[in-house]
Amino acid sequence: MKVIVLGGDGFCGWPCAVNLAEQNHEVIIVDNLSRRKIDIDLEVESLTPISSINERLSAWEETGGKPIKFINIDLSKQYQKLLNLLIEEKPDSIVHFAEQRAAPYSMKSSFTKRYTVDNNVNGTHNLLAAIVESNLDIHIVHLGTMGVYGYGSHRGATIPEGYLKVEVPQPDGSRFEEEILHPASPGSVYHMTKTLDQLLFLYYNKNDLIRITDLHQGIVWGTNTETTLKDPRLTNRFDYDGDYGTVLNRFLMQAAIGYPLTVHGTGGQTRAFIHIKDSVKCVQLALENPPKSGERVKIFNQMTESHQVGELAKKVASLTGAEINYLPNPRNEAVENDLIVDNKCFIELGLNPTTLDNGLLEEVVEVAKKYSLRCDKKRIPCISTWTKKQAKAIKTN
């Protein structure tokens, strides 16, 4: 099939794009390279050295990979260019990764809040409007987040794959059963944009019958896949800084350089995780199993396991001998939460989950050790606070 990968230069998008080309699909990457520009603004770089997009694509062809085209389009601002591309290329499917994805970055300032909302919501809406205008029956696979459900008190209830069965009382006393989108409870401006995406999908699916699969993904860890390891110029990015680095990769990288592990609060937060190799596989499975025409938005929970942040820190510490530092939490989030997630859709489609085994954890530590000289320790602390109260607590510590 012909697939456009929006955001195909990013951490999840790049390994996904080369995997799809390896599966013999025709792949076009669309990206405005904004993630690379944000690194320049934040004065930080991926821990792994990453090649430019054109160097990546030439290296991919030199290793025998099926050629991948690259087109620079800002999804949120260049609507006409996007529409022309759809009409010209007539893709079967589009994978949509092209959003500002860091919660701490989205909470830094009113500028980053507004940028995240403008970029993410307009980008997703432009895509939907362009598909309708093109008159093409394109399947969208969108990367959403487990964070749309929130991390408050689900009181031990299992989080279903997107929809919740509710009983609506009728005037005659009877009860009518309905399936609604699971109530959203975002924990940051970034997560809020993903809950807004969900409503855009619901509406365009209902009104224009657009076929959509929304993947509620957990925190992705790991860095390379077998495909990105084929040549050093294909290396994937590794974010470790306080804005873009995600918790498990940060802990592994901190252990590698002898920096005490930065646990926020007591570490009682439970989150969903998935390894980058499984993330890539899930996107492929979602593309190969599209919804039928007229089917409502398919929602999958793209995660393989849940862990408490403090327990993860202890596991990394026992594996590497790292120290643990319990810090004032810069975020406004529950001190502790349960998380039980239904994830059977991908398992039924054949996903064989990669779990947190020591070998894979050590592999990330080795990558981090190899590039430890590229780490700027000043960029490790999380200084983006959710509220003024948290900012004050952090300053006084």
What is the contact surface with ligand USQ in residues (CB under 6 A)? 101-103, 145-147, 218-219, 246-247, 250, 262-264, 269, 271-272, 309, 329, 331, 333, 382
Q: What is the 3-state secondary structure (H, E, C) of 203-233?
A: HHHHHHCCCEEEEEECEEECCCCCCCCCCHH
Binding segment for ligand NAD among 80-88, 95-103, 165-173, 387-395 (CB under 6 A)? 95-103
Q: Which does 308 bind (CB under 5 to 8 A by kind): ligand USQ, ligand NAD, none?
A: none
Task: Give the residue, chosen from 112, 124, 217, 225, that forms a contact with ligand NAD under the rule CB under 6 A.
Answer: 217
145 noted as active-site residue: yes
> 48, 116, 124, 145: which one is catalytic?
145
Size of the site for ligand NAD (CB under 6 A): 27
**Contact string 71-90 vs ligand NAD (x = CB under 6 A):** ---xxx--------------
Burial 385-396 (b: 16+ CB within 10 A, else e): bbeeebeeebee
Task: Give the residue, chosen from 35, 139, 211, 230, that forms a contact with ligand NAD under the rule CB under 6 A.
Answer: 35
H helices present in the chain, as ranges: 13-22, 34-42, 53-62, 79-89, 103-106, 110-134, 189-208, 247-257, 276-288, 309-320, 344-348, 358-370, 388-395
**Contact string 238-257 vs ligand NAD (x = CB under 6 A):** --------x-----------
The answer to whether the beta carbons of residues 238 and 15 sit under 8 Å apart is no
Residues in CB range of 73: below 8 A, 6 or more apart = 30, 31, 32, 81, 82, 85
> 190, 204, 240, 371: which one is catalytic?
190
Q: What residues from 6 to 25 belong to the interface with ligand NAD (CB under 6 A)? A: 7, 9-13
The smaller minimum CB distance to ligand NAD, of residues 76 and 112, is found at 76
CA distance 333 to 271: 12
Quote the least distance from Cβ 212 to ligand USQ, whole Å.
18
Q: Is 168 exposed, middle or buried (0-12, 13-18, 19+ CB in 10 A)?
A: exposed
Quote the least distance from Cβ 152 to ligand NAD, whole Å.
19
DSSP 113: H
Strand partners, 141: 95, 213
- Secondary structure (DSSP) of 306-354: EEEHHHHHHHHHHHH---EEEE---S---SB---EE--HHHHHTT----
At residue 243, the 3 state secondary structure works out as coil
Q: Which does 27 bind (CB under 5 to 8 A by kind): ligand NAD, ligand USQ, none?
A: none
Residues in CB range of 30: below 8 A, 6 or more apart = 4, 5, 6, 7, 8, 70, 71, 72, 73, 75, 82, 85, 98
Binding segment for ligand NAD among 61-69, 213-221, 292-300, 362-370 (CB under 6 A)? 213-221
Residue number of the CB closest to ligand NAD reads: 10
194 noted as active-site residue: yes
Task: Give the residue, chosen from 33, 117, 200, 391, that forms a contact with ligand NAD under the rule CB under 6 A.
Answer: 33
190 noted as active-site residue: yes
CA distance 5 to 127: 12
The smaller minimum CB distance to ligand NAD, of residues 34 and 384, is found at 34
- From the list 290, 302, 300, 287, the residue with the least C-alpha distance to 3 is 287
Quote the least distance from Cβ 14 to ligand NAD, whole Å.
8
- Rule CB under 6 A: say whether 145 interacts with ligand NAD: yes
> 113, 194, 230, 298: which one is catalytic?
194
The smaller minimum CB distance to ligand NAD, of residues 137 and 342, is found at 342
- Rule CB under 6 A: say whether 119 interacts with ligand NAD: yes
Annotated active-site positions, please?
145, 190, 194
Binding residues (CB under 6 A) for ligand NAD: these are 7, 9-13, 31-35, 74-76, 97-101, 119, 123, 143, 145, 217, 219-220, 246
